[in-house]
């Protein structure tokens, strides 16, 4: 019988069913998975990482190195869950990890007998040769052996979420120091948040059997929690681990809502919190460490405080004959509580000889060490240094306490060694953090409460809270005295790190081989790595290193603590940003209309744009695109071009501003006209292009490419605010406010005339090429009309306020039927601009200049504008510079490939002979063969010459003829007609 | 991950801002009269020191204003913020 009849914080009336390795068990509400397992007499829960030695439950908290289980099944499964942190629920399914065969008879145990060969650096030394073996033999073996649990390799169906919180004071840890601090702060009215990783707040006081204000300490916890719960300025967060401390008082926290797969599809499994605090107090307490002796990793050997807490909090006695091994006073507390609970305490062995037993009526042996533990799958006996053998089925070990100072180090705080309590204590914590109680190395409750009082008063005053009332606390003074680490390293198979199977021998070997520093030691031996990050093992390992190196603990120092404090699942970082929600989509104003026209959509930046519109009978995308091009060029087509960036520019100096940001002149652009503009970077490289229309003396409307809409706007803001702060210029992005459509083709004017309100004349005389005007359409809808053409046809772009877009596009398609109006997508748009030789994103790739684009003459020589001086750099204006030209395959049946490089015929395809590259290709339905645009040296002087377009990826060489970039209507008669 | 006190909006999360490099880079008044070296100095040469650095930031997802930040690059402590055109703090 392992469960005592009464007491503790469990509800014996509420039974919970769970399974471990396929067997069903019963636990109680308030149990963790580990307390429920121990309550059923189960110690053996896993196998160690390297040697596959049996592993039991070692602790009762998040520091657990051994009791790692595979929780839940199928796609819900998660490996390496610490059984000590899982709140038991009905229907929990758990399995042990890392064994071949059954848990009690693991085939891989053979590694333990081969351990002489598997010491530190085994991989590095063994898998060196032959080199060819690495990929085929060694790596698969290592990968197969590595890791403890298994992933489902399926998508995780659970939900995860994120949240953001703000507070005056963040209290980290809800043990006695945390709750007391929280109470003092809460009564001032300060906005406070209290977080604790446990699912019940109270920290160690939930597992201790001590009196405070003449009551049991867990009752004191309840009374404080009930007051805190009643206050609106307090937020209590249980099951929430603060995993990282970041700059300016920002903290990351993980709240575990549920592990139960029955809940986690509908409600979040974990929530990742970002907490912004003005100040924080770290009240995270301290963790116990083990003691070194042979076979100290056997199941049944546990931390002393954990044994005490299993007994007091969960009513579980983890053995029938328990012994205690300690070097400090705290071990005796365990003996006292176990005895009180009716457990048979065999004896307590204290390393210290010159002490008066703090507790009477317990068999004790002073001044002795345990040299070896024995047992197969569970400890059965211990042997002392005087040869005496003691039979025991559970050993509670207390090697002293290590403050939980991790969060003080995330911004490079470096702990100091304390010679009195023999532990590292915080040093240089973040500026807005104070460390209180055991986390600061104070292991005495009375001192801890005083410490809280003094520090909180000061913190709250600095935060501006003056009315501070302090609660009185009466608690018996607890002595904590500890012996230093032994001066001699014990011999035999002694475990330092239970999780990574690092022994004393491995540390000796690593130092022998030259890995002297703690950081190197960690990486070479894996000491303190993996899920527990050495919470138990680090200081023990450092004590061995300090002995070997004959240096003090302070000189040895610690490795750098980094976030996270405990593991955070990737799912929590992803939150809701999964699959389609990874980033937001922007829909064009005509999206629904396009959808009803059977459009195929493509992602263009954040936008979903119609790529083409297949109709019945079309089997390939090319058929659709060819039809759209031909129908537009013969009749009329419509395309949503809202995604182009639109920037409204107003103010007295707008003209001068445009002159400054564009490379070509805009100041003299007449009202009612549009001009093509090329924008350069200050270093002379082409940045973006588009058109800008002048609607009045001081009002311009600029368009940018879709891709650069954001960067151009930001660049203009920079130019305005930082370079020309005195100019009267106002910018606003109106991309989303105006829906804009291109209407292109010989019948576009006739169609538009029908929708324009009666008095508006758009004849060629009144509204010639490059004209613009504010008009109304379809009985009063305000619109902006531009006579510009990307396709090379007689064409217009018309913008209407977004709210009219759906109506507008439906109406115009209805009216357009008699002109055979066709909707065209981005593919047809691309084909037509390549046929016309217009540059786009492929050509403006951040490497090319106005000179390369054939637009060198546009660049203003008179004004000072961004980039014009630097565009005249010699290097950018050499005679053999790249020029944008067209290409056609000699064999017209061949397809061109974008990205191909141009090599002179007969020359080898290498970097030296590289003449340029193909930037855009398309099949031209008008010419009935493939065409391309690209950059080639002196291209504008080489029309008619033949070169090879080389595609080394597919080993293809295509002979191409250099051509003018204008394949279609080179004189531009159509667009002016 | 830190907080910037925008001189127009107040304290906001860093992710609302975009860094714009070294502050107080003055664009040449007479661009054509500059030597190549002077241009290179203006365009490319930037300080990237460990310690206190003067930087330009823009509140991209906020008021869109550019302003100056004095930041210690070694620990992200922000010593001061001030508007464009204002003189940098002397201390």
Q: Give the whole-angstrom CA distance, residue A106 versus residue A127.
A: 25
Per-residue model confidence (pLDDT) at position A563: 94
SS3 A654: helix
Q: At what angle do helices A518-525 and A504-512 cross, to 10 degrees?
A: 120
Averaged in consecutive runs of 10 residues, what is the pLDDT profile of chain A (977 residues)?
88 97 97 97 92 94 96 95 97 92 80 74 69 73 73 94 98 97 96 98 95 92 96 98 96 97 94 98 97 96 98 96 96 95 95 91 94 95 96 97 96 93 95 96 93 96 90 83 89 92 93 92 90 92 94 93 94 93 93 97 94 96 97 97 97 96 93 96 94 96 94 96 96 96 97 94 95 96 96 96 97 97 97 95 92 90 88 87 96 96 95 96 96 96 96 94 95 89
Fold of the CATH domain A878-976: Elongation Factor Tu (Ef-tu); domain 3 (2.40.30)
Per-residue model confidence (pLDDT) at position B91: 67
Q: Give the whole-angstrom CA distance, residue A257 versus residue A239.
A: 7
Instruction: Give which of B59, B64, B65, B68 to mutate to test A binding, by max A Cβ within 10 Å.
Output: B64
Mind telling me how many Å the CA of B55 is from chain A's nearest CA?
Answer: 13
Q: Tokens at residue A95, please?
A: 């399995």
Mean pLDDT of B54-70: 96
Q: Give the whole-angstrom CA distance, residue A616 versus residue A760.
A: 38
Q: Using CB atoms and an 8 Å cut-off, which of residues 696-715 of chain A contact chain B?
A: 714
* Strand pairing category for A781-786 and A946-951: unpaired
Q: Tokens at residue A691, please?
A: 């058109």
Fold of the CATH domain A1-155: Ubiquitin-like (UB roll) (3.10.20)
Per-residue model confidence (pLDDT) at position A144: 67
The H or E element spanning position A507 is helix A504-512
By the 8 A CB rule, do A870 and A682 touch? yes
* Strand pairing category for A211-212 and A92-95: unpaired
By the 8 A CB rule, do A152 and A77 touch? yes
Cross-chain CB nearest to A247 (options B2, B34, B64): B2
Instruction: Verify whether the Cβ–Cβ distance B43 to A411 is below 8 Å.
Output: no
Q: Give the whole-angstrom CA distance, residue A731 versus residue A698.
A: 12
The H or E element spanning position A935 is strand A929-937
Q: What HEC string does A336-385 produce?
A: HHHHHCCCEEEEEEECCCCCCCCCCCCCEEECCCEEEEEECCCEEEEEEC
Instruction: Verify whether the Cβ–Cβ distance B66 to A864 is below 8 Å.
Output: no
Instruction: Verify whether the Cβ–Cβ distance B39 to A870 is below 8 Å.
Output: yes
Q: Which of A430, A46, A449 is nearest to A242 (CA)?
A: A430
Q: Which of A767, A769, A805, A827 is nearest to A632 (CA)?
A: A827
* Strand pairing category for A11-20 and A92-95: parallel
Q: Which domains does chain B have, with CATH numbers?
A: 3-83 (3.30.2270.10)
Backbone angles phi, psi at A218, to 5 degrees: -70, -25
By the 8 A CB rule, do A500 and A49 touch? yes
Q: Give the whole-angstrom CA distance, residue A504 versus residue A292.
A: 9
Q: CB atoms < 10 A from the CB of A420, how many?
A: 10
Omega within 30 of 0 (cis) for the link into A2: no
Cross-chain CB nearest to B60 (options A250, A714, A725): A714
Distance between start and end Cα atoms, chain A = 99
Which residues from B are below 8 Å from A721, CB to CB? 65-66, 84
Nearest CA in chain B to A413: B75
Cross-chain CB nearest to A683 (options B43, B64, B66): B43
Which residues from A are below 8 Å from B71, CB to CB? none
Which residues from A are below 8 Å from B31, CB to CB? 864, 868-869
Nearest CA in chain B to A683: B43
Cross-chain CB nearest to A721 (options B32, B34, B65): B65
Cross-chain CB nearest to A869 (options B20, B31, B84): B31
**Domain A485-556 annotated CATH 1.10.10.1100:** yes
CA distances from A580 to A268, A411, A577, A583 (A): 18, 36, 8, 7
Per-residue model confidence (pLDDT) at position A99: 85
Per-residue model confidence (pLDDT) at position A137: 73
Instruction: Verify whether the Cβ–Cβ distance A247 to B1 is below 8 Å.
Output: yes
- Cα A847 from chain centroid? 32
Q: Which of A238, A234, A224 is nearest to A188 (CA)?
A: A234
Fold of the CATH domain A290-399: FAD/NAD(P)-binding domain (3.50.50)
**Domain A159-286+405-462 annotated CATH 3.50.50.60:** yes
Q: Give the whole-angstrom CA distance, residue B42 versus residue B29.
A: 12
Instruction: Give which of A162, A164, A247 to mutate to test B binding, by max B Cβ within 10 Å.
Output: A247
Cross-chain CB nearest to A718 (options B2, B20, B44): B20
Distance between start and end Cα atoms, chain B = 25
Instruction: Give which of B7, B13, B21 to mutate to test A binding, by max A Cβ within 10 Å.
Output: B13
Q: Give the whole-angstrom CA distance, residue A66 versus residue A306.
A: 14
CB-based contacts of A875, cutoff 8 Å, min separation 6: none
Domain ranges of chain A: 1-155, 159-286+405-462, 290-399, 485-556, 592-642+737-832, 647-733, 878-976
**Interface A:B, Cβ pairs < 8 A:** 47
Per-residue model confidence (pLDDT) at position A717: 96
Please provide the size of chain B in residues: 91
CB-based contacts of A543, cutoff 8 Å, min separation 6: A485, A553
Mind telling me how many Å the CA of B6 is from chain A's nearest CA?
Answer: 15
Q: CB atoms < 10 A from the CB of B26, how many?
A: 8
Q: Complex ipTM, two decimals?
A: 0.97
Per-residue model confidence (pLDDT) at position B90: 80
The CATH code for residues A647-733 is 3.30.70.1400
Nearest CA in chain A to B84: A722
Check residue A916 and give left, alpha or beta (phi > 0: left; psi -120 to 50: alpha).
left
Q: Using CB atoms and an 8 Å cut-off, which of residues 664-683 of chain A contact chain B?
A: 682-683
SS3 A503: strand
Domains A159-286+405-462 and A878-976 share a fold: no
Q: CB atoms < 10 A from the CB of A668, how many?
A: 9
Per-residue model confidence (pLDDT) at position A121: 72
- Interface residue ranges in chain B relative to chain A, Cβ cutoff 8 Å: 1-3, 13, 18, 20, 27, 31-32, 34, 39, 43-44, 56, 58, 60, 64-66, 75-76, 84-85
CB-based contacts of A517, cutoff 8 Å, min separation 6: none
Q: Give the whole-angstrom CA distance, residue A290 versus residue A540.
A: 8
Q: Give the whole-angstrom CA distance, residue A321 versus residue A342.
A: 11
Q: Tokens at residue A877, please?
A: 């204006």
* Strand pairing category for A234-237 and A192-195: parallel
Cross-chain CB nearest to A247 (options B34, B65, B76): B76
Could you name the CATH architecture of A592-642+737-832? 2-Layer Sandwich (3.30)
Instruction: Verify whether the Cβ–Cβ distance B75 to A247 is below 8 Å.
Output: yes
Omega within 30 of 0 (cis) for the link into A748: no
Q: Which of A47, A57, A62 is nearest to A2 (CA)?
A: A57
Q: How confident is the model at residue B30 (pLDDT cuts 50, 70, 90)?
A: confident
Cross-chain CB nearest to A723 (options B1, B20, B27): B27
* Largest CA-CA distance found in chain B, in angstroms, rounded: 43
Which residues from B are below 8 Å from A864, CB to CB? 31-32
By the 8 A CB rule, do A886 and A965 touch? yes
Q: Which of A872, A886, A862, A882 is nearest to A963 (CA)?
A: A886
Instruction: Verify whether the Cβ–Cβ distance A725 to B84 is below 8 Å.
Output: yes
Q: Give the whole-angstrom CA distance, residue A636 versus residue A630.
A: 9
Q: Give the whole-angstrom CA distance, residue A291 versus residue A304.
A: 11
Q: Give the whole-angstrom CA distance, residue A658 versus residue A650.
A: 11
Instruction: Verify whether the Cβ–Cβ distance A717 to B58 is below 8 Å.
Output: yes
Instruction: Give which of A275, A663, A721 to mutate to test B binding, by max B Cβ within 10 Å.
Output: A721
Q: Which of A491, A485, A490 is nearest to A553 (CA)?
A: A485
By the 8 A CB rule, do A467 and A432 touch? no
SS3 A578: coil
Per-residue model confidence (pLDDT) at position A132: 74
Mind telling me how many Å the CA of B38 is from chain A's nearest CA?
Answer: 12
Strands of the sheet with A607-612, listed across from one edge: A586-587, A607-612, A600-604
């Amino acid at each position: 019988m392992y469960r005592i009849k009464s007491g503790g914080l469990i509800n014996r009336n509420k039974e919970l069913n769970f399974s471990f390795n396929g067997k069903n068990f019963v636990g109680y509400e308030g149990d963790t998975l580990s307390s429920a397992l121990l309550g059923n007499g189960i110690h053996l829960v896993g196998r160690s990482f390297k040697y596959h030695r049996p592993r039991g439950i070692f602790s009762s908290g998040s520091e657990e190195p051994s009791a790692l289980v595979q929780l839940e099944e199928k796609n819900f499964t998660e490996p390496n869950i610490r059984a000590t942190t899982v709140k038991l629920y009905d229907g929990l399914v758990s399995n042990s990890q890392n064994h071949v065969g059954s848990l009690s008879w693991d085939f891989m145990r053979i590694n333990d007998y081969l351990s002489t060969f598997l010491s530190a650096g085994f991989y590095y030394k063994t898998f060196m040769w032959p080199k060819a073996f690495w990929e085929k033999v060694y790596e698969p073996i290592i990968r197969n052996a590595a890791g403890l649990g298994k992933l489902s390799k399926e998508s995780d169906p659970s939900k995860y979420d994120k949240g953001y919180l703000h507070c005056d004071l963040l209290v980290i840890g809800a043990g006695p120091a945390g709750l007391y601090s929280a109470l003092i702060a809460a009564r001032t009215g300060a906005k406070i948040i209290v977080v604790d990783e446990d699912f019940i707040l109270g920290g160690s006081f939930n597992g201790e059997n001590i009196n405070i204000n003449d009551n049991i300490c867990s009752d004191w916890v309840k009374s404080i929690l009930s007051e805190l719960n009643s206050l609106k300025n307090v937020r209590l967060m249980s099951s929430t681990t603060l995993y990282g401390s970041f700059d300016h008082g920002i903290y990351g926290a993980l709240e575990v809502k549920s592990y139960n797969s029955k809940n986690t599809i509908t409600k979040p499994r974990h929530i990742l919190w970002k907490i912004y605090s003005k100040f924080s107090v770290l009240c995270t307490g301290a963790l116990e460490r083990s003691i070194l002796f042979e076979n100290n990793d056997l199941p049944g050997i546990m931390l002393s405080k954990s044994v005490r807490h299993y007994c007091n909090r969960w009513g579980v006695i983890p053995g029938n004959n328990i012994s205690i091994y300690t070097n400090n006073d705290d071990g005796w507390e365990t003996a006292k509580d176990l005895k009180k609970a009716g457990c048979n305490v065999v004896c307590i062995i204290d390393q210290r000889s010159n002490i008066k037993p703090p507790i009477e009526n317990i068999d004790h042996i002073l001044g002795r060490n345990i040299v070896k533990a024995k047992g197969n799958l569970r400890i059965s006996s211990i042997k002392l240094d005087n040869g005496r053998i003691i039979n025991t089925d559970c050993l509670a070990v207390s090697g002293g306490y290590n403050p939980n100072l991790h969060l003080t180090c995330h911004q490079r705080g470096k702990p100091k060694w304390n010679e009195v309590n023999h532990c590292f204590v915080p040093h240089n914590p973040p500026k807005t953090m104070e460390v209180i109680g055991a986390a600061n190395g104070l292991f005495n409750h009375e001192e801890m409460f005083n410490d809280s009082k003094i520090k909180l008063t000061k913190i709250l005053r600095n935060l501006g809270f003056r009315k501070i009332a302090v609660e009185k606390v009466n608690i018996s003074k607890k002595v904590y005295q500890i012996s230093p680490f032994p001066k001699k390293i014990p011999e035999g198979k002694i475990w330092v790190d239970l999780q990574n199977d690092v022994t004393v021998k491995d540390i000796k070997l690593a130092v022998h081989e030259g890995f002297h520093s703690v950081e190197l030691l960690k990486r070479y031996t894996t000491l303190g790595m993996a899920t527990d990050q050495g919470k138990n093992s680090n200081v023990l390992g450092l004590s061995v290193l300090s002995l070997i190196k004959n240096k003090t603990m302070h000189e040895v120092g610690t490795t750098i603590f980094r976030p996270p404090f405990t593991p955070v699942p990737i799912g929590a970082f992803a939150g809701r940003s999964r699959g389609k929600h990874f980033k937001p989509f922007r829909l064009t104003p005509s999206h629904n209309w396009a959808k009803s026209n059977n459009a195929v959509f493509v992602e263009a930046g954040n936008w979903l744009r119609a790529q083409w519109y297949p109709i019945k009978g079309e089997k390939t995308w090319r058929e659709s695109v060819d039809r759209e091009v031909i129908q537009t060029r013969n009749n009329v087509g419509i395309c949503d071009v809202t995604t182009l960036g639109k920037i409204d520019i107003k103010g007295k100096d707008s003209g001068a501003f445009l002159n400054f940001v564009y490379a070509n002149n805009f100041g003299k652009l007449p009202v009612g006209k549009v001009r093509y503009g090329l924008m350069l970077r200050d270093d002379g490289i082409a940045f973006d292009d588009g058109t800008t229309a002048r609607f009045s003396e001081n009002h311009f409307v600029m368009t940018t490419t879709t891709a650069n809409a954001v960067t151009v706007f930001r660049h203009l803001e920079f130019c305005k605010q930082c370079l020309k702060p005195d100019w009267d210029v106002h910018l606003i992005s109106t991309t989303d406010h105006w829906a804009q459509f291109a209407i292109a083709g010989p019948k576009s004017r006739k169609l538009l005339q029908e929708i324009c309100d009666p008095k508006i004349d758009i004849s060629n005389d009144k509204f010639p090429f490059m004209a613009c005007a504010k008009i109304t359409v379809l009985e009063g809808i305000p619109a902006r009309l531009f006579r510009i053409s990307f396709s090379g046809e007689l064409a217009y772009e018309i913008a209407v306020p977004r709210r009219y877009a759906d109506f507008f596009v439906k109406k115009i398609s209805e009216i357009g039927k008699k002109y055979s109006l066709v909707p065209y997508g981005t593919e047809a748009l691309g084909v037509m601009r390549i046929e016309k030789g217009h540059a786009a994103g492929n050509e403006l790739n951040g490497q090319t200049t106005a000179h390369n684009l054939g637009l060198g003459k546009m660049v203003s020589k008179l004004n000072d504008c961004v980039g014009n001086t630097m565009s005249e750099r010699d290097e950018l204006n050499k005679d053999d510079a790249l020029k944008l030209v067209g290409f056609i395959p000699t064999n017209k049946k061949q397809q061109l490939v974008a990205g191909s490089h141009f090599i002179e015929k007969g020359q080898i395809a290498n970097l030296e002979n590289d003449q340029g590259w193909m930037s855009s290709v398309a099949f031209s339905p008008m010419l009935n063969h493939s065409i391309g645009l690209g950059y080639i040296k002196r291209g504008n002087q080489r029309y008619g010459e033949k070169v090879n377009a080389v595609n080394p990826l597919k080993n293809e060489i295509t002979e191409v003829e250099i051509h003018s970039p204008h394949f279609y209507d080179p004189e531009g008669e159509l667009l002016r007609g | 991950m830190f907080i910037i006190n925008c001189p127009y909006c107040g304290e906001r999360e860093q992710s609302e801002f975009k860094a714009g490099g070294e502050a107080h880079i003055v664009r040449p008044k007479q661009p054509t009269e500059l030597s190549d070296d002077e241009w290179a100095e203006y365009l490319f040469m930037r300080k990237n020191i460990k310690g206190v650095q003067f930087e330009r930031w823009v509140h991209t997802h906020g008021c869109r204003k550019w302003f100056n930040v004095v930041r210690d690059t070694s620990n992200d402590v922000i010593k001061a913020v001030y508007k464009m055109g204002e003189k940098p703090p002397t201390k």
